[in-house]
Amino acid sequence: MSFNIAIAGNPNCGKTTIFNGLTGARQHVGNWPGVTVERKSGHYSFADQRFDVIDLPGTYSLSAFSAEETIARQYLLDEGPDVVVNIIDASNMERNLFLTTQLIESGRPLVIVLNMMDMALEKGLEIDSETLSTLLGAPVVPVIGRTGEGLDLLREKILRVATEISQKSRPIDIIYPRDIEAEIQKINTLLEKSPLAERQVRWTSVKLLESDEETHHAVRAVDGGKEILDQTNDSIARIERLFKDTGRAVISHARYGFIQGAIRECVVENLSDAVDSSRQIDRILTNRWLGLPIFGFFMWLMFKITYDIGSIPMAWIDSVLVALMNFVSGVLPESMIASLLVDGVIGGVGAIAVFLPNIFLLFFIIAMLEDTGYMARVAFIMDRVMHNIGLHGKAFIPMIMGFGCNVPAIMGTRILESRRDRILTVLINPFMSCSARLPVYVLVAGAFFPENAATVIFSMYVLGVVAAIASGKLFSKTILKGMSKPFVLELPPYQRPTFRSLSLHTWERGYIFIQKMGTVILVGSIIIWVLGYFPTEVTLDRDYNAERANVSTQYAQELQDLTLKYEASIATDSSTYYSEMLSYRASSGYHMLNTQYLDIKAKLNASEQAEIFSLKQQEIGDITEQKWIGQVGKIFEPIVRPLGFSWRESVALITGFVAKEIVVSTYGVLFGVGENVDEGSHGVISGLRSSGMTPLVALSFLVFTLLYTPCLATVAAIKRETGTWAYTLFSIGYSLGLAYTLAFCVTYFGGMFNWLS
Amino acid sequence: MFNSKRPRHQLSKAIEGDLRLSDLKPGEKGRIQEIGGSEQFRQRLIEMGLTRDAEICVDKYAPLRDPLELIIRGYHLSLRGMDAQKISVERIS
Ligand SMILES: Nc1nc2c(ncn2[C@@H]2O[C@H](COP(=O)(O)OP(=O)(O)OP(=O)(O)O)[C@@H](O)[C@H]2O)c(=O)[nH]1
């Protein structure tokens, strides 16, 4: 036999820790249908029974105001789990028990877990769990989730409740003030006669008095529903008259009254000498003057660690990939399959694989910030700034991370609780100029603004931030209007993180990256490879082989002439050599001739190599022009022409869709300098300069590169985090539109005033 | 397409009482009288324990003067100044 167990509790009460403690590694992380709220499920065996465990979203109540609450509630009511395990933070019982009062009313068999007993002890709290159990009508198990203490007892209690279906311990009722009880009774009586009688009648009555929309809906739909609703409205009116507040507020107040009564009976608070260490830490970390600089330092450190330390394993992965590519091209004969494997699959997926160290490090640091409790302080410190864009303080972290790479940054938006905030942050994140765009800036700015390159590059970063802020404001006033939630943030006590929890969180997020990004990137890079590979037969106007042969013969001729001349002069020299055998001057003359000869010969050789190389690359450029990718570039050329771009820019931008730094290597190919250009490459710079591009168009190109469609990996991340194609396509379209508009403005207005022409 | 959820409970409630939570200085305590604002906001706060007559203490302000940190029912909670303004309190010393 198997049982369904649901874990419910407030955010941060240790649900995930207990879930992991119960299920070990046997778990599955996914999303709840239709929403990007994480859904964790797993199972364990105990006493030959199988227990399927589901981790409900952390909520403070079941009032269905947020997606998380709706999910938790629907699961509890519709799926009817065999046992609900309610986790309570023992060091913060009063507020945690609020949800418990609702769970008791929902009527599911309940096991209550007093987690964080260590913290409660530290706080000087003595909790009588026997009495609490009697008061709440459910078994209470004290646990330290972190060490696993008490989990065995918990398994046992779950088993007992599941098998007995708690026949003995009759669930208690939360008793409300007499005037409310009277109204509940009136509605109960009506409900018991209606088709809703088999549901939890008391729960329904209380929810009706709380003006709960979904319950009202459900009741309206049944026979006699109207009568019940009429009674409800009467009752609410009476309660409001008596208590001078809404039914909902009065009932919540009464719940807290019940809780306070229970706590008075079973908790003894020993005034401990132990200072509130968490508060002491906060004296410094959120200090008026020190708070911001310390936060800035942490952010700097996070960047430093992610990108500097991350670059070490990045180099290893890179060399492994190169070795792999060499190996494959070594064993396979040159063929389409070999090219597909090497350039398409290994090259494409490898481009993502090298980011793995960065991403895992970043997730590790984020897990650290979250587990220590500092993340809540980040929200506290930065809320003032982010509020301007209509965002929650925590959104600052993904925004900053965007300067490194948008992919982990967008995945980092999971730290935000509200879906609307997540979507808004995801949509503006690509405007934060990621590190992949820097090589493009360096190349183009270096070519056209050698004097002011740094200023130009810096202004790109500023423009990105401005675009993000402006778009954020625009979105929060238009498409994402009215979905904003009030800022109500709990600041949990600081905690020492455990390595186990850190690695678990890191792995969970990192794995999603590997899984999802891998597939999308693979498909994307194969598409780009196909565009670059076909058609295999191209006809070239110029006969490059002949030209190369021509160059070779020319040089061979010159070399021969030179050698002849040299031998001749040696001959003359040696005749005088014999006659003036002892002359020092002659011998040095001989030496001079010899070095001169070798020198010229070397120079000739080098320039021959260069010419052949350049021909080779021109050929590649010509070939590219005829491949599908070049044709696509040509197709889009009329569209980008108003911006002053040629088909080359068009191709570069299209390939840049895979990853923005590819823009540079594409230019390398197009200008015949080879793929491995470094940013300062003279060939590309002179190529760019002689291609007819003006500094103004170059600037416009930079603006376009900064803002246009995020790279493929980012698009995949957007799809993953927003969960819908609608937002993904919107993001692509919006950024393209913005890039086009601003680039056009640069070209058009700049041209009007003859700037930088 | 984007507004999958219609806004609910947008009725807002005006409150009386002169002293607001946002008027308290760091370290000062108050007793909650009434909470205004949207129904969703009110309910959220009440669920978090900000019920009538509950004792609340302003612990400190963030470095940029907003939001503020409160202590209620033994735990720490942060609200924005503009939201704290919707809560009327009675000062206790
Ligand atoms: N001292 C102590 N800390 C604990 C205990 N159980 C969990 N924690 C810590 O409490 C923090 C929150 O635990 P989680 O398991 O992530 O809490 P959660 O309820 O899943 O939180 P959300 O996912 O935000 O809803 C983590 O830093 C845990 O290490 C415990 O028994 N004692």
Degrees (nearest 5) of the Cα angle A520, A525, A528? Answer: 130
Residues 50-89 of B with CB under 8 A from A: 51-52, 54, 60-67, 69, 73-80, 83
Q: Which residue, among A380, A388, A391, A474, would best test binding to B if mutated, counting the most B CBs under 10 Å from its CB?
A: A380
Within 10 Å of residue A608's Cβ, how many Cβ atoms?
Answer: 17
Residue from the list B8, B46, B73 with its beta carbon closest to the beta carbon of A213: B8
Residue with tokens 């992919």: A407
Residues 185-214 of A with CB under 8 A from B: 213
* Shortest distance, CA B7 to any CA of chain A (angstroms): 7
Burial of A564 (0-12, 13-18, 19+ CB in 10 A): exposed
Contact indicator for A344, A522 with CB cutoff of 8 Å: no
- In this model, does residue A680 exceed pLDDT 60? no
The residue among A486, A488, A494, A119 whose CA lies nearest residue A286 is A494
- Please tell me the predicted confidence (pLDDT) of residue A264: 93
Ligand 1 neighbourhood includes A698 CB (under 6 angstroms) = no
- Report the alpha-carbon distance of residue A536 to residue A335 in Å, rounded: 11
Fold entry, domain B18-92: SH3 type barrels. (2.30.30)
CA–centroid distance, A493 to ligand 1, in Å, is 11
Calculate mean pLDDT across residues A8-13.
Answer: 90
What does the pLDDT look like over A455-482, one tens digit per residue?
888 899 889 999 999 999 899 888 887 6
- In this model, does residue A438 exceed pLDDT 90? no
Ligand 1 neighbourhood includes A147 CB (under 6 angstroms) = no
Tokens of A612: 């052949």
Q: Is A269 on the interface with B (CB under 8 A)?
A: no
Give the number of the atom of ligand 1 that is nearest the alpha carbon of residue A17. 15
Q: Is B91 on the interface with A (CB under 8 A)?
A: no
Radius of gyration of chain A (CA): 35
Segments making up each domain of chain B, as ranges: 18-92
Could you tell me where the beta strands, DSSP code E, fall in A311-448? none
What does the pLDDT look like over A30-42, one tens digit per residue?
655 555 567 788 9
Terminal alpha carbon distance of chain B: 52
Per DSSP, A332 falls in state S
- What is the DSSP pairing of strand A38-46 with strand A2-9? unpaired
- Report the alpha-carbon distance of residue A710 to residue A735 in Å, rounded: 8
Contact indicator for A33, A79 with CB cutoff of 8 Å: no
Ligand 1 neighbourhood includes A97 CB (under 6 angstroms) = no
Q: Which residues pair with A84 in a beta bridge?
A: A6, A110
Tokens of A550: 């021509």
Respond yes or no on whether the N-terminal peptide bond of residue B67 is cis (omega within 30° of 0): yes
Per DSSP, A149 falls in state B
Residues 6-45 of B with CB under 8 A from A: 7-8, 37-45
- Report the alpha-carbon distance of residue A580 to residue A592 in Å, rounded: 17
Calculate mean pLDDT across residues A736-740.
Answer: 95
- Report the alpha-carbon distance of residue A18 to residue A151 in Å, rounded: 8
Buried b (16+ CB within 10 A) or exposed e, A311-333: eeebeeeeeebeeebeeebeeee
CA–centroid distance, B2 to ligand 1, in Å, is 34
User: Which residue stretches of chain B have pLDDT < 50?
Assistant: 1-11
Percent of chain A topping pLDDT 70: 89
Q: Is A384 on the interface with B (CB under 8 A)?
A: yes
Contact indicator for A487, B80 with CB cutoff of 8 Å: yes
CA–centroid distance, B81 to ligand 1, in Å, is 29
* Shortest distance, CA A492 to any CA of chain B (angstroms): 7
Closest alpha carbon within chain A to B38: A486
pLDDT band at A380 (very low <50, low <70, confident <90, very high): very high
Helix (H) or strand (E) holding A55: strand A49-55
* Shortest distance, CA B25 to any CA of chain A (angstroms): 14
- Please tell me the predicted confidence (pLDDT) of residue A577: 53
Residues 6+ apart with CB under 8 A from A374: A285, A298, A494
- Report the alpha-carbon distance of residue A199 to residue A289 in Å, rounded: 56
- Please tell me the predicted confidence (pLDDT) of residue A260: 93
Residue with tokens 């709990």: A490
Tokens of A622: 């010509």
Atom 8, ligand 1: which residue's CA is nearest? A14
- Please tell me the predicted confidence (pLDDT) of residue A103: 93
Ligand 1 neighbourhood includes A122 CB (under 6 angstroms) = no
The complex's ipTM works out to 0.86
- In this model, does residue A495 exceed pLDDT 60? yes
- Per-position DSSP letters for A585-638, written without gaps between them: HHHHHHHHHHHHHHHHHHHHHHHHHHHHHHHHHHHHHHHHHHSHHHHHHHHHHH
Residues of B with Cβ-Cβ distance to A122 under 8 angstroms: none
With an 8 Å Cβ cutoff, are A383 and B61 in contact? no
- Report the alpha-carbon distance of residue A618 to residue A673 in Å, rounded: 8
Residue from the list B8, B60, B83 with its beta carbon closest to the beta carbon of A487: B83
pLDDT band at A588 (very low <50, low <70, confident <90, very high): low
Lowest mean pLDDT among A200-209, A290-299, A620-629: A620-629
What does the pLDDT look like over A544-555, one tens digit per residue?
888 888 888 988
Contact indicator for B19, B30 with CB cutoff of 8 Å: yes
Contact indicator for A5, A35 with CB cutoff of 8 Å: no
Q: Which residue, among B47, B66, B77, would best test binding to A if mutated, counting the most A CBs under 10 Å from its CB?
A: B47
